[in-house]
Amino acid sequence: MQEGQALPELRKSVSQDQINRYAQVSGDSNPIHLDAEAAASSTFGSIVAHGMLVLAFVSEMMAQAFGKSWLESGRLKARFSAPAYPGDEVTTFGSIVKLQPEGKGWRVQCLVGCRRVGGQEVVTGEASVLVAGR
């Protein structure tokens, strides 16, 4: 593990079924996510995925990269810059920007995000995780 190291990318499809299931479990039934007619009159012009659904892809990438350490000590701060739509393919990205001693381990600081295939960023942010061993 070293500064500048890229994190493994994940490629995900965003589907209306996934959005519907997320709305059900999260309790967020805002029509912009579920009702095509209502969403058509929104700023986005059509149904959009929940931002937290897309952010979950970033968290999944961090869990794959750092395992149990992410689940126990992960921190994530994000900004949403564009919507993801049903039918979009998105890819997560990330890199290690700083390794800082903390306790008996290292605080690994990363820049992370998710972009639509084609390049438009949907979410960007900072993540950190405490990993054992020094």
37 CB-near residues (< 8 Å, 6+ apart): none
Residue with tokens 């960023």: 121
The set of residues, in sequence order, having a beta carbon less than 8 Å from that of 26 and lying 6+ positions away, is 50, 52
43 within 8 A of 52, measured Cβ to Cβ: no
What distance in Å separates the CA atoms of residue 71 and residue 82, rounded to the nearest whole number? 27
Task: State pLDDT tens for residues 22-43.
Answer: 999 999 888 899 999 999 999 9
Separation of alpha carbons 129 and 103, rounded Å = 13
Task: Say what the pLDDT of residue 134 is.
Answer: 61
This model's pTM is above 0.85: yes
Which pLDDT tens digit goes with each residue over 97-108? 999 999 899 999
CA distance 16 to 48: 9
Domains of the chain: 49-132 (3.10.129.10)
DSSP state of 6: B
Backbone phi, psi, residue 36, to 5°:
-60, -40
What's the pLDDT tens digit per position in 41-90? Answer: 999 999 999 999 999 999 999 999 999 999 999 999 999 999 999 999 99
Rounded Cα distance, 75 and 77, in Å: 7
Residue 1 pLDDT: 85
Q: Say if CB 127 and CB 110 are below 8 A apart.
A: yes
